[in-house]
A and B are shown apart, each in its own frame.
Chain A
Amino acid sequence: MNLNSMVHPVYGLYLMLIIGGGITAVRAKSLVRALVGLIVTLFGVAGMYLLLAAPFIAFMQILIYVGAVAVLMFFAIMLTRTSDGESGFEDKAVDKTYRSRGFMSIWASGLMFAMLAMAVVRYMPRAIPLKPETTMAQLGEFLTGPFVLPFELISVALLVSMAGAVLLGFERRKAK
């Protein structure tokens, strides 16, 4: 038994977290439980980054997605409480479009899965279980060197969405 084979049980654990969280997120009746499932999935993904020897990205995943994005989603759920019932519950019996929506979601996620699977099968890299750690300096050099264009594009997209949110807020205020 060598050290590299120790990676497999850990990989399995993270995989279980990701898939279990995903199933909870889809199947849960209450929106908050679905959100908790999503958070478990995000933790699993952070673990995968750790296995890929990129602890900076793993901690950032927890800091940003779990600590900020999930919490803001929670805020949105709390603010959208319906007037006649509990917040965040989906009534299956009443909704007539339930079946067709299920079909559409399976179709969409299947398409996504097929695309990702094709990319992975085509460009599968050789498996390296234990790599040296990717340092922050290396990440910085990558982001400001070969990946500077996508990096800037992402920041522009974020800026646009932020400006849009501010603009929407102003319009809402004028209407009052």
Chain B
Amino acid sequence: MTQILQYLVMPLVHIVVALAAILTFIALNGLILVYVERKVAGFIQRRPGPYEVGPQGLLQPLADALKLMAKQLVMPRGADSILFWAAPLLSFTPVAICLMPIPFGPNLTGWNVNLGILLVLAFSGLNVLALCLAGWSSNNKYSLLGAARAVAQSVAYEIPLLLSVLCIAFTTGSLNFADVTASQSHGLFSWNIFVQPLAFLIFFIAALAETNRAPFDLPEAESELTAGFHTEYSGMGFGLFFLAEYSYMIVVSAVGSVLFLGGWNGPFLSGHWWMLGKIYALILVMMWFRWTYPRVRFDQLLNICWKWLIPLSLMNLLGTALIINLVR
């Protein structure tokens, strides 16, 4: 009986509590990021952004969320009914699993897995599948084009992303986020961004492309494909895709800060504040990019990946392996 309590009930309780905490975090973040993104956009384009609802427009995201929830759910004629509604769910659910193994503070890990990095990479790949299903089942040519773009883009950019993460795995010798954080705890210059600057650059560019953020937001490109894969979604169908996109920004920024920016390491403040600050700093950089750079053309997008990022990341990986062997 004690065995069952120790190996079954306790971990289960732990996981349920962690999941609840992470889902709350995701939902609150969705609200905050919507507001921040619109304010940042306004600031960059020299306009006020939302300011009517509540003080400084702070209640605007709540109003938006209420509007989305109250809207009617519409399905186009000739759409595949099961896959059409499965797609937004499939896009959103893996996010919770992706945030589980990330150490948000010294004692703030949802689920300490030895293969944490691999877990995040594996489950974040499900998003592409969701985009494909959404695009195909909508029975609409814009959606289908958006899905085709999403596949080509994410399959191409997954390679440099994996290779740059592999560099960190080589230098640390582990796929556990806690070990990676521990290896960067010897002052500022032990952070991997200084050890592996090229890997960080490649990781960040590939991550922008994987999360479909501008300048790589071709799957949804409003000006050419109306809204790409989610053209036909209304109400919470669209809301879930939207929430998933913002949550993947958090996942990518969290993984980036653990792998390259020292995780929760930092002086004076306690660890989780540092981690939160780093995550939001990366997200703000992503927003800054979005409102600064124009969208790239599709052939340019693939050329950047196949002609620059993949050879560079391969060379970086080979160099890392060589240096590790020489040092040993």
Contacts and interface: CB of A to CB of B under 8 A. Distances in A.
B272 to A, nearest CB: 27
A9 to B, nearest CB: 12
A67 B122 contact: yes
A66 B148 contact: no
Contact of A66 (B125, B137, B151): B125
Interface in B131-156: 132-133, 136-137, 144, 147-148, 151-152, 154-155
Interface string B113-127: 111001101110110
A39 B115 contact: no
Nearest to A76: B151
Interface string A65-101: 0111011101100110000000000000000000000
Contacts, number: 84
Interface in B204-253: none
A118 interface: no
B266 to A, nearest CB: 30
Interface in A33-86: 33, 36, 39, 55-56, 59-60, 62-63, 66-68, 70-72, 74-75, 78-79
Contacts of A63: 118, 121-122, 125
Contacts of A1: 4
A36 B133 contact: yes
Contact of A3 (B3, B128, B136, B154): B3
Contacts of B301: none
Given A32-B136, A60-B118, A78-B147, A66 B126 contact: yes
Interface of B: 3-4, 7-8, 80, 82-83, 86, 113-115, 118-119, 121-123, 125-126, 128-129, 132-133, 136-137, 144, 147-148, 151-152, 154-155, 158, 175
Given A33-B80, A136-B115, 5 more contacts: A39-B129, A62-B122, A68-B158, A74-B147, A78-B132
24 contacts: A2-B4, A6-B8, A30-B80, A32-B136, A32-B137, A33-B80, A33-B83, A36-B86, A39-B129, A55-B113, A59-B119, A60-B122, A66-B125, A67-B122, A67-B128, A67-B129, A68-B155, A68-B158, A71-B129, A71-B132, A71-B154, A74-B129, A74-B136, A79-B148
Interface of A: 1-3, 6, 30, 32-33, 36, 39, 55-56, 59-60, 62-63, 66-68, 70-72, 74-75, 78-79, 133, 135-136
